[in-house]
Structures are given as C-alpha cells and as structure tokens.
Amino acid sequence: MRCHTGRVNTLRIAAAAAVFAAVFALTACSGSQSESGGNVIAPVTVEANDLQGETVDLVVGQTLNINTGSLAVDSYRGEVADTDVAVFHEGRDDGSAQFNPGVEAVGPGTTTVTMTNENGGIQPLEFTVVVAERD
C-alpha cells in the first residue's frame, strides 16, 4: 500500500489558494471604499474655459476638478454664494506636485461660483453648481 499524503496535501493547498484568489478577486471588484467605509466618488473634471455660464451637477462628497490649462493652478480665486452647498479649494503647487483648484459639494442645493484670476485681464468665470444627496 502506497501513501499519497504529499500529493493530497499539495492538492489541498492548491485548492485553498484558488479559493483565496477567487475571494480576493471578488472583493477587489466590489468597488472602492474610503476609510470611512463609503464608496469613493470620482471627481468631475472640466476645463476652466468651459465653465462660463454652465451648470455642473455633483453629489454630496464629490469634487469638481478644474483644469486651468496653461494658467498657473494657484492663479485662480473662487467665491461660492452658498457655502452650505459647496466650497472652493484653491489650486496649489507644493514643488513636487500641482493640485488643480476645485469645488467640493458639501450639501444638497444650488449655488453660484465665481472664479477670478490674479493675472488680471481674464473675465471672471461664473457657473452654477447643483448638488444632490448621495444614493
């Protein structure tokens, strides 16, 4: 009588590894989670030149990422009419990375945003942000 425990153990280890890989793959596909446990919401990216007179729809927790094109990311200032709905975050350059200016949706409602550029000679950008509750 021959003992095949080595082969049986190898098959068990391979089966366990396959189950682990399948569970890991399924969890990886279930959506990104933030540290607070909620799903991460992708930002909406729009060119600054395309915002004039537009309406941007966001959900609470979502950010409007504003691409400033050839202008410096830290050259824009923003004013939000109703900060219970949205807040403006100035762009910055910390020497190792550049961060675009943006508008963060903080509560449901509608507000207007006015962006000006410190370089002058550029017409203020005025647009509307509509924020809905998150599902």
Instruction: For residue 39, tell me if it sits in a domain.
Output: no
Domain assignment of residue 128, given as a range = 44-132
* pLDDT per residue as tens digits for the range 44-65: 999 999 999 999 999 999 999 9
* CA 104-93-119 angle, 5° bins: 85
What's the rounded Cα separation, in Å, for the pair 86 and 74?
Answer: 19
- Furthest CA-CA distance within the chain: 93
Task: Quickly state the pLDDT bin for 3 (edges 50, 70, 90).
Answer: low
* 38 domain-assigned: no
Number of domains in the chain: 2
**Which residues contact residue 8 at a Cβ distance below 8 angstroms, ignoring those fewer than 6 apart?**
none
pLDDT score for 39: 76
